[in-house]
Amino acid sequence: MRGFVAKALTAVAITALSAGMAKAADVEVLHWWTSGGEAAALNVLKEDLKSKGIGWVDMPVAGGGGEAAMTALRARVTAGNSPTAVQMLGFDITDWAQQGALGNLDAVATAEGWDNVIPTALQKFSKYDGHWIAAPVNVHSTNWIWISKDALDKAGGKAPENWDELVVVLDKMKANGITPLAHGGQPWQEATIFDGIVLSEGTDFYKQAFIDLDPAALGGEKMADAFNRLLKLRTYVDDNFSGRDWNLASAMVINGQGGMQIMGDWAKGEFLKAGKKPGVDFVCIRFPGTQGSVTFNSDQFAMFNVQGDDKQKAQAQMASSIESPKFQSAFNVVKGSVPARTDVPDTDFDDCGKKGIKDLAEANTKGTLFGSMAHGHAAPAAVKNAVYDVVTGAFNGKYKDGAEAAQALASAVAAAK
């Protein structure tokens, strides 16, 4: 017992001491990248900063795609104790900027020419009122389908390119006795599928409905059709989908129980970890009818107001390290996403990654790069959750048809705006 106490006290003394020593120029980072691969990727950034004499105080808070972290952040900012940098998504960044809580990265951004290399659709979130406030880390795109090569071969072998072909493939898979669509019944997963469907109804329609929140588009015929497609997809899901984690749905595709999964590019990690090879064991395609367009979400580090010259310097250095092509490549290879700047060489990426980089560049120049509704890059949190309510309701059989769901969507969004 005494030994334990002594050890405990030493441990306290050491942590207290090291905390004291590291005071010089630290960055305190709040994030939710706690799984092996993600954290390893983030460690690249940490090491880079360390080589420049900047310490890293880690504050990881996982859960709910950052929901728990955002609650913790609110407590910290309210207490007047903001971290240096916080991992954040989409409209959360804008919301914090509106509160005047964020710092200014204009100096680094200008010096390094971020304006020219970071896609405009991302800049919408990294900038507020014309000033840089956040450093984007990656771009995930959500309109992907991951198909088991084996199941696809048995279902005709041709990857579907439009909605009708998709239905044909799904029907064949069903006839072959597998679950055609591996899906996890959580609101955000259903909304991810719905992103793809809405985008497949046309890029202009996606913009009107989800970015501009036009009531006519939200409640209109096309939206009714989109909901009908969602209900059609519902018929290809097994009985046991509700509440399932997305990675268990991936596992179904990996072990041959399921035919395909509609999920963002982070699903790739599951396939790779299981020893599957892109193109050989599984195929990655864009949601049929959305080729050439990308719905994205982007993790960014929002930089909070910090006091003191050395701290601001450390913060600027961190932002600069995040945007260095070396880190962008190293991080995104591991994470399954693509770099947040368009000039990073794709040499280290696998086939799906290369395709993702190409698609992003193409969508960026064509103007068909849109924020994902499901992942908080199309509309603020209140609207996003209102959309979740209706989409997940529809998927769980709450509305009799697409038209009724579309009506419900229009009124839910109106109420949340």
| Site map (CB under 8 A) of other proteins, residues 82-111, x = contact | -------------xx--x------------
Q: Which of residues 396-415 bind other proteins (CB under 8 A)?
A: 396-398, 415
Residue list 243-302, contact with other proteins (CB under 8 A): 243-245, 247, 251, 255, 266, 269-270, 273
- Contacting residue, 119, 136, 160, 187, with other proteins by CB under 8 A: 187
Shortest spacing between CB 92 and other proteins, in angstroms:
9
Which of the residues 23 through 42 are near other proteins (CB under 8 A)?
28-29, 31-40, 42
If the CB atoms of residues 215 and 380 are measured against other proteins, the closer one turns out to be 380
Out of 104, 171, 202, 380, name the contact with other proteins by CB under 8 A.
380
- By CB under 8 A, residue 3 contacts other proteins: no
**Residue nearer to other proteins on the CB measure, 22 or 175:** 22
CA distance 302 to 94: 10
Among 211, 361, 385, 403, binds other proteins (CB under 8 A): 385
Can you tell me the distance from the alpha carbon of 410 to that of 127, in angstroms, rounded to the nearest whole number?
29
Residues 315-344 that bind other proteins (CB under 8 A): 335-336
Tell me which residues in 6-25 interact with other proteins (CB under 8 A): 8, 11-12, 19
Taking the complex as a whole, the smallest distance from the CB of residue 115 to other proteins amounts, in Å, to 28
# residues near other proteins by CB under 8 A: 79
Site for other proteins in 228-247 (CB under 8 A): 238-245, 247
Stretch that binds other proteins, among 184-192, 194-202, 204-212, 367-375 (CB under 8 A): 184-192
**Contacting range for other proteins; rule: CB under 8 A; set: 79-87, 212-220, 342-350, 359-367:** 79-87
CB closer to other proteins out of 89 and 159: 89
- The answer to the question of residue 211 lying near other proteins (CB under 8 A) is no
Interface characters, 47-76, with other proteins (x: CB under 8 A): ---------xxxxxxxxxxxxx-xxx-xxx
304 lies in the site for other proteins, by CB under 8 A:
no
Q: Does 1 bind other proteins (CB under 8 A)?
A: no
Residue 156 to residues 144, 182, 288: CA-CA distances in angstroms? 20, 19, 16
